[in-house]
Amino acid sequence: MTSKRKKLTHLSKLFCLRAILLLVFICFVVQGYSQFDPVYKRFTVNDGLAGNETYHIFQDSKGYIWIATNNGVSLFDGYNFKNFDVQTGLVDNIVFEIYEDYKGRIWFVPFSCELCYYENGKIHVYPFNYKIRQHMPTKSRGPLKLSFYVDTLDNVYLGVKNYGIMHINPEGIFKKLNVDEDTKIIFNEISSNKILITTNEKTNSKDLLIHSNKQNVKISLENIIKINTPIYTYAIKDTDSTIYASFEGTLVYFENNRPKWIDKSTSNIIWLSKDDEYLFVSDFNGGIKFSPISNKNSFRPKKILKNFQITSVIKDTEGAYWLSTLNNGIIYIPDIHIQTITKENGISDIRVKAVYEKGENIYLGYQMGWVDVIRNGKISKINLLKNSGNASFVRSFLGDEKNDKLWICSFGHLGYLQNDKFHVIKDKNTIYPRKIIKSRIGNYYWVATANGIIKVENDKVVYDSRNDGFSAMALAIEEDDQGDIWFLTYNGLWKYANKLYQFMGDIDPLLAYSGSSVLYNPYNETLWIGTNGAGIVILEKNGKTSQISKNEGLISNSITQIEFRNGRYWVGTRQGLSVITSHKEGFKIQNITKSDGIISNDISALYITDSLAYIGTSEGLSIIDINKFSPNTTPPKVYITSIETPDSASNFVPDTLPLKYDTKYALISFNGIAYKNMGRIPYRYRLLGLDSNWVYTSSTQCLYSVLKPGKLKFEVQAQNSNGIWGPTSSMLIIVNSPIWQKIWFIALFAIIFSLLLYLVYYYRMSELKKRNALLNNINLYKQQSLRQQMNPHFIFNTLNSIQYYILEKDTISSHKYLTKFARLMRFTLDNSLHSAIPLRDELDTLKLYLELEALRLQGKFTYTIDYDNNESILEVKIPTLMIQPFVENAIWHGIMLKPDKSGHVQINIRDIGDSVLCTIEDDGVGREYAKKIREESNKNHKSRGFQITQQRIDLLNSMYGQKFNIRIVDLYDKNGKPTGTKVSLNIPKNLENT
């Protein structure tokens, strides 16, 4: 009886196995593209990832992607990777798992099992790591994956290999969860959706204990697990009564704590997870298997990415998938329901020009004349060039299932495939076909060619438009229910009816656009024209036209293909795919681009069935599972990440930010989480209170340089790949008012201003008088400053000299000296009456002064005045006694300090255009030596000549609005010894008299 039961059981299992294989085969036939990979993007260390060996990938509640690697942890925001290692707070660089608790803390579980977590922009070390170290077994091989948990009471649970589960409460009290010493594996149901795993190597039993607060159930795994102690064990809670579990190479689905089905087709399982759609399984052999979780009776997977060892899988908030790999970084799949076929899969070319599907066969036509047939995942090639002489450059297909023909339009040949043999339609004229359609009213075909249109019946050309005098390149062709032919040329739409040709562009300018696709919809009797630049033009039965362009949401205005299936228009462009669904209010447009998972935006061919959309592009073929593909409707979150002002820069952004009134700028940074845009997220922002209009940008920063006092509210939004704007992120900015805008200050200012108005009447005249007096004082100051320059040195010494000659009874010398001195005083007094005098008078006065000094020094001192015999320059007016103070300094602070008190002063006057250049050069001791002598002598007397002259020049600059320049250069010989001083004085011309 037992043997019969075993036989029945064996037969039952065999029958089930055959049924499963049959179902898998049927699934493969219906979806023959199942072995092809989806479009994916790989990120490695070259892109900024911390390490290529990745163990776990995780998306937190804010939307950021975290990656655990063998070289630290990476945080990805769609733009850049931010890496963390032991230098930035991690306890261990080898991190196996990342987990987020109920507080939003991001926990890192490393190889050493010592924990840390990320909170408020910083990594914090778990304070009870020493408890973990104390109880860590010496033979431990690290943590068990997916066996870490933090409950809402801050209890930490950690599954460790060869040990069990550590439990540490918030106070640091350590406890090891109960382990059944006679049980190999224990599933601990910590919460309603979390299972932690314990393994026990000390027992030889092959039992599983499912432990929960409700009950303990022991299950024998004798016929399930292959080895004594599975290294990799996973358990995923499905519902309250079901669990997915894997034991090394065996996958089991438990229902009510009993195995419902067992699958042993996968060896060395290293990852197990599920989402709302699929169960994912990966192994060391490479690839990831995924099976619909709606199937509760068996494991019926598809396998992709067989060249990668997958260590974890997640589905992000946009429906895209992220995978960590063992040696190849991380992988991003925009849509797992879109498969791709490229040259890597063995097709002849990536430039797909035509596509057609019949049953399990997919036909692809290429630019170089090849046609590929994909049958059961295998690719066979048909060379049209070989079978038809010179046929090449496939332009389009037409599948005629009724006649079992696949018509092919290629360069220079029209023909059809039948039983994989290419039959060419021969005619006296070479046919250059571009598009072929089957007649709606008869068993014949219309063809758009480079020389007009032709009609083919019974494999013969029975009509050629050239015979009726019409010859133009027809780019696309269509027939309506009445048998009228519509075709596109480079100058627009034409109609052929009743043997007459009519140019429709004469009726409506929208019909004069060139295009490459025209479609007739018999359901509403409309003609859809795909133009090159004007989007889609719709011609209704009554002759009215309408337009769908980018303004209405179309992805591009240049159309390459239009197909209609099940109430939807599929529109191919050079910038992506638009799917148009008509409804009572108009049209709903869904755009699909490379960011959504198709291989390329450059679409050149379309073929649509009830369940699949074949998209031929310049980079290969994409196949969309229509029933499972869904647009990206997730509104992207956006975060204000930092704000920078002249006073501060902070990554912590408060809800309310106070700013001073004189803040010159505020640089606000933000970041949207929309990975399908992948660094190309559109944003819009505004500052309410300053400007209510949205500003659109793709930058992640905005700069405000004008901030008026008051309450300002900054708002920013991000847009996803399907044009949906996300929720607003905002921040209140309060710009404090300056003191003069305070109420008390305004009141005080009003009182003071009123008093000033009251007093202005009384003080106006006195202010005018003060102003006049000030002008007089300025003039007086000018004269006094000039006279003061001679008082300290010259007058005193001159009188001493005269006194000396008198005492010596040298009447002639005293008389001569006194006469020159009297003339000098008279010139000085006369010149002081004017603010500006002719240069001639200035030089005359200067000569008297120099003569007196030469007499006083008894011939040791000489001078030269050179004005280059330019008499006209002597009439230029300059400020009174402008040159004399510098000559005086040259004598007293240069020549007189020499031991022998001998020297020479050279005065040069030159006309340099708008000004006069006067240089005074002496061969004295130089300024540095003169300064040293004054310091050593400790004389109280200080020369104020240059100071007064400089003040006077500043005054002259303010009076005349012209530039007086003084430049002093110390002179040295070849040995660096001082040889004198050179003063250059630049005096503007055309000074007004005052």
Residue 153 tokens, joined: 């009471």
- Residue positions counted in the chain: 994
Helix axes 839-856, 796-807, angle to 10 degrees: 50
CB 563 within 8 A of CB 607: yes
Q: Could you give phi then psi for residue 403, rounded to 5 degrees?
A: -100, 5
**Residue 782 pLDDT:** 54
Buried b (16+ CB within 10 A) or exposed e, 815-837: eebbebbeebeebbeebbebbbb
Residues 6+ apart with CB under 8 A from 905: 850, 861, 862, 863, 864, 887, 890, 891, 895, 920, 921, 922
**Residue 780 pLDDT:** 52
List the end-to-end C-alpha distance of the chain, in Å, as a whole number. Answer: 139
Count Cβ atoms within 10 A of the Cβ of residue 139 and give its class: 0-12 exposed, 13-18 middle, 19 or more buried: exposed
CB 788 within 8 A of CB 944: yes
The CA-based angle 726-59-111, given to 5 degrees, is 165
- Give me the residues of the chain with pLDDT under 50, please: 1-34, 774, 777-778, 781, 785, 788-789, 993-994
CB 739 within 8 A of CB 732: no
DSSP state of 202: T
Q: Beta-carbon neighbour count of residue 645 at 10 Å? A: 18
- Integer Cα distance of 320 and 38 in angstroms: 11
Which secondary structure element, helix H or strand E, spans residue 531, and what is its range? strand 526-531
DSSP string spanning 550-587?
A: GGGT-S-SBEEEEEEETTEEEEEETTEEEEEEEETTEE
Domains of the chain, by residue range, sit at 1-30, 33-124+287-302+315-334, 127-264, 350-424, 637-741, 761-988
DSSP string spanning 381-438?
A: EEEHHHHHSS-EEEEEEEEETTTTEEEEEEETEEEEEETTEEEEPP-SSPP-EEEEEE
> Distance of CA 772 to CAs 651, 783, 826, Å?
61, 17, 28
Radius of gyration of the chain (CA): 48
- Integer Cα distance of 683 and 636 in angstroms: 10
CB 666 within 8 A of CB 704: yes
DSSP state of 527: E
Q: Decide whether 33-124+287-302+315-334 matches 761-988 in CATH topology.
A: no
Characterise 723 by phi-psi region: left (phi > 0), alpha (psi -120 to 50), beta (else).
left
3-state class (DSSP) for residue 754 = helix
> Distance of CA 239 to CAs 193, 235, 242, Å?
8, 12, 5
CB 190 within 8 A of CB 151: yes
- Integer Cα distance of 394 and 411 in angstroms: 7
What is the fold, at CATH topology level, of the domain defined by 33-124+287-302+315-334? Methylamine Dehydrogenase; Chain H (2.130.10)
CATH class of 761-988: alpha beta
DSSP state of 40: -
Residue found by looking up tokens 């030596």 in the block: 929
Which secondary structure element, helix H or strand E, spans residue 331, and what is its range? strand 330-333
- Integer Cα distance of 200 and 722 in angstroms: 51
- Integer Cα distance of 497 and 253 in angstroms: 66
**Residue 792 pLDDT:** 56
Q: Could you give phi then psi for residue 588, rounded to 5 degrees?
A: -115, 130
Confirm whether pTM is higher than 0.85.
Answer: no
The candidate with the shortest Cα–Cα distance to 319, out of 40, 675, 627, 581, is 675
Q: Could you give phi then psi for residue 592, rounded to 5 degrees?
A: -125, 125
Residue 314 tokens, joined: 């997640």
- Integer Cα distance of 94 and 937 in angstroms: 79
Residues 6+ apart with CB under 8 A from 323: 57, 288, 305, 308, 310, 312, 313, 330, 331, 333
Residue 18 tokens, joined: 């055959």
CB 230 within 8 A of CB 255: no
Please name every residue paired with 457 in a beta bridge, in sequence order, or none if there are none. Answer: 460
Buried b (16+ CB within 10 A) or exposed e, 509-530: ebbbbbbbbbbbbeeeebbbbb
**Residue 781 pLDDT:** 47
**Residue 776 pLDDT:** 58
Residues 6+ apart with CB under 8 A from 35: 302, 303, 377
The candidate with the shortest Cα–Cα distance to 341, out of 307, 396, 292, 304, is 304
CB 658 within 8 A of CB 736: yes
Residue 141 tokens, joined: 């091989």
The candidate with the shortest Cα–Cα distance to 842, out of 865, 819, 862, 815, is 865
CATH class of 637-741: mainly beta
Residue 744 tokens, joined: 């008390």
**Residue 385 pLDDT:** 64
Residue 79 tokens, joined: 């733009």
Residue 101 tokens, joined: 């608790």
**Residue 3 pLDDT:** 41
Where are the alpha helices (H) located in 880-919, listed in sequence order?
A: 884-890
- Integer Cα distance of 445 and 465 in angstroms: 14
What is the fold, at CATH topology level, of the domain defined by 350-424? Thrombin, subunit H (2.40.10)
Q: Beta-carbon neighbour count of residue 322 at 10 Å? A: 21
CB 597 within 8 A of CB 304: no
Helix axes 945-960, 743-790, angle to 10 degrees: 120
